[in-house]
Amino acid sequence: MGRFYLDVDHFPLEDQVKGLADDELLDFWEETQFVERALADNADDAPEPNHMEYERVILRELMLRTCLRTLEAGR
């Protein structure tokens, strides 16, 4: 199972998602969506900016993996 380290100085989110398997990465994305919706439903303030950071990092990692698989399949 994947782990999220709060000490981002030593383990940036970008490095953490690289260690996740595809299904774990998709689970992490799903969990961030669920938490964001729950927070938005219970808060009067604007959503936390971290949500967009999580989504950006996860989507970038998924795109990178897809490109690498395409390149490997073309060899």
Q: Are 54 and 32 in contact (CB under 8 A)?
A: yes
Is the model's pLDDT at 61 over the cut of 90? yes
pLDDT of residue 1: 55
Q: Domain range holding 66?
A: 46-75
Most confident of 4-8, 14-18, 44-48, 49-53: 14-18
Reported as a single tens digit per residue, the pLDDT across 8-31 is 567 788 998 999 999 999 999 899
How many structural domains comprise the chain? 1
Is the model's pLDDT at 3 over the cut of 80? no
Average pLDDT, the chain: 82
* Residue 73 maps to a domain: yes
Contacts of residue 49, defined as CB under 8 A and 6 or more positions apart, other chains included, come to none
Residue 52's identity, in one-letter code, is M
* Residue 30 maps to a domain: no
* Residue 22 maps to a domain: no
